[in-house]
Amino acid sequence: MVTLHEAQEDYIKRWKKNAEQHFNDCDYDWVASLVAKAGAQRILKVGCGVGYSTLALANRGIQALSIDPIPEAIADVGVCHHRGEDTVNFKVG
């Protein structure tokens, strides 16, 4: 039987791979452009996962509070912090 922790680790691993590909393909830019077009300056992103969609928002200067219930997912958002984004705040919740 798979434990909850094992299932979460597997989910994060699969989603990180898929999300990185979506980010590289600029798929998240489309969503970020809609948010920017609506004039939003700040957003609350619930279920942010490993943070790639949040990074696309930050790249457009949109402040984001991103929340995910899985601590290991938040631990993997280093990609955003390593790019020096100061418009992003990640929380576990």
Q: Average pLDDT in the 67-71 region?
A: 85
Question: CA dihedral in degrees (75, 77, 81, 87; nearest 10)?
Answer: -120
Tokens of 84: 């020096």
CB atoms within 10 A of CB 79: 17
Residue 86 lies in domain:
4-92
Query: What digits encode the pLDDT tens for the residues 43-68?
Result: 898 888 778 888 888 888 888 888 88
We report the CATH number of the domain holding residue 34 as 3.40.50.150
Q: Count of domains in the chain?
A: 1
The sign one gets for the Cα dihedral 23, 44, 46, 84 is positive
The H or E element spanning position 67 is: strand 63-68
Predicted pLDDT of residue 85: 53
Question: Structure tokens of 17?
Answer: 């791979």
